[in-house]
Amino acid sequence: MNPLYLDKENLTIDDLVSVARSGRDVAVSSFGEARVARTSALIERWVKEKRVIYGITTGFGALCNVTISEKDTRRLQENILMSHAAGVGEPLSESVVRAIMALRVHDLSLGYSGCRMETIRYLLAFLNQDVIPVVPEKGSVGASGDLAPTAHLGLVLIGRGEAFHHGERVSGAEALSRIGLSPLQLAAGEGLALINGTQVMSAIGALVVNDAVRLSKMADIACAMSLEVLMGSNSEFDPRIHQVRPHPGQLATADNMLRLTAESQIIASHQGCARVQDAYTLRCAPQIHGASKDAVAHARRVIDIEINSTTTNPLIFPDTEEVRLGGNFHGQPIAMAADYLSMGLAELGSVSERRIERLVNPQLSELPAFLIKEGGINSGLMIGQYAAAALVSENKVLAHPACVDSIPTSANKEDHVSMGTIAIRQSREILTNVENVIAIELLCAAQAYDLLTETHPLTAGRGTREAYRVIRRHVPFMAQDRELYKDIQAMVQVLRSGEILDAVERAVGRICVEK
């Protein structure tokens, strides 16, 4: 694969995923290098002229009125990395840190920060030679950028902190030595430029949104499978119903469900039965799943804008040789989108759990209790529903919005903060929980299909039968009790791999998020 030029104007979420998860090589073009050099030369000149510029020749935050002499500017930049590296908790995953570094390079290479190309090359070397700084996941309030976590990243550039190299945790100095680099001597303004931005919340957000798009499609597939084995109807997906309430996600879900269940002998077998309407978890899937898809689509639009923005401060405009102080580092756009995304994802899990209950409850499904033969000696999928219920309940706590809270920092200079990094970390946790819930629904639906077709040899829909086939390649029919957690783990891995979605889309066309 050709290297990705991180100074490109339109960096996509797919680009970022390829760097974060596939280890794609990265570079900066000659055009980007020239842009960076032009601005860094301005900073060097202004320092010599003893201009007073926030964060370059002054202290930070509430200490912005303290002027720093030219001889101390380098020490100032190292001090900001050491003093701000106050993160706590477990390290962020390798993929997230790779995404953070890629976004940091992208922002710096746009040429508004004054950072030198030499510094950017260190970050490129980290990405291309598998040096992953140890970045604790907690400690950012999401304004003035993600200061604490990005400071930990910056420490490794100067031979401090810690990093993983090919999976081994070593000191920052050792990591640099292993790839043939000496500790970087930071120039004026570079310490601040390295930490002042929304790259941590944006990186997590990009990966979460990428996975949320896939998960929202998988929710439709799981729902379609449940609909069939619960003897539901697909008449509620008639496009005429949804065209008179044309929310994009609702329209997409109804269309997806129709195509997934097309040619279903199971659904055709009970047309004209006494049941008038299906339960809401089936009948209202377009309205419920659709609203969640709209939340995902909104978050994706916000993240698309953010990963192509400059969020540092101060901003240098080389064309006019001016400096402007602003607040692009404030994470409010991401915070609010992340909280909305959390609610959308939580609802996908909530409605899935209710379908799981319908599948395992013989009074609702007309199938063997807990989807197992010889009930009593076997418990079947009984506790799968318990696990789903626990995850859904946990999501209700995690979906509490983080953006509505603010604790002032820096002696009240920073008197409103976004908590955006907390918000998107909550989204990530909710997404993981919902992946497990949807996996349990898929297990239940496949088991129900086997039990149903033993007595009624009917084929599933064009899309649902492809999903069933993939599931059975990885998880066999449960004839008697076995360790259920292994089945759930296997199902989650299949869901994440995209194998089910790929097979279904080959059969019915693209499963859409908005229409």
Task: Give catalytic residues, as residue numbers.
Answer: 54
- Residue 403 and residue 420 in contact, taking contact as beta carbons nearer than 8 Å: yes
Looking from the CA of 354 toward its CB, the CA atoms found within 13 Å total 13
From 152, 153, 157, select the one nearest 119 (Cα to Cα).
Answer: 157
Helix, strand and coil in the chain, % to nearest 5: 60, 5, 35
**Cβ neighbours of residue 295 under 8 Å, at least 6 residues apart?**
340, 341, 343, 344, 345
User: Which DSSP string corresponds to 27-87?
Assistant: E--HHHHHHHHHHHHHHHHHHHTT---TTTTB-SGGGTTSB--GGGHHHHHHHHHHHH---
H-helix or E-strand spanning residue 5: strand 4-5
Which amino acid, 298? H
Burial 75-101 (b: 16+ CB within 10 A, else e): ebbbebbeebbebeeebbbebbbbbbb
- Residue 406 and residue 416 in contact, taking contact as beta carbons nearer than 8 Å: yes
CA distance 229 to 305: 42
CA distance 138 to 86: 9
Which amino acid, 262? A
Tokens of 430: 């909710």
Which amino acid, 211? D
- Residue 50 and residue 28 in contact, taking contact as beta carbons nearer than 8 Å: no
Whole-Å CA distances, 18 to 15, 39, 108: 5, 29, 20
- Residue 127 and residue 102 in contact, taking contact as beta carbons nearer than 8 Å: yes
Residue 315's SS3 state is: strand
- Could you tell me the sign of the dihedral formed by the alpha carbons of 310, 316, 317, 323, in that order? positive
CA distance 103 to 118: 17
CA distance 179 to 117: 18
**Cβ neighbours of residue 493 under 8 Å, at least 6 residues apart?**
none
From 247, 419, 398, select the one nearest 336 (Cα to Cα).
Answer: 419
Tokens of 394: 């946990």
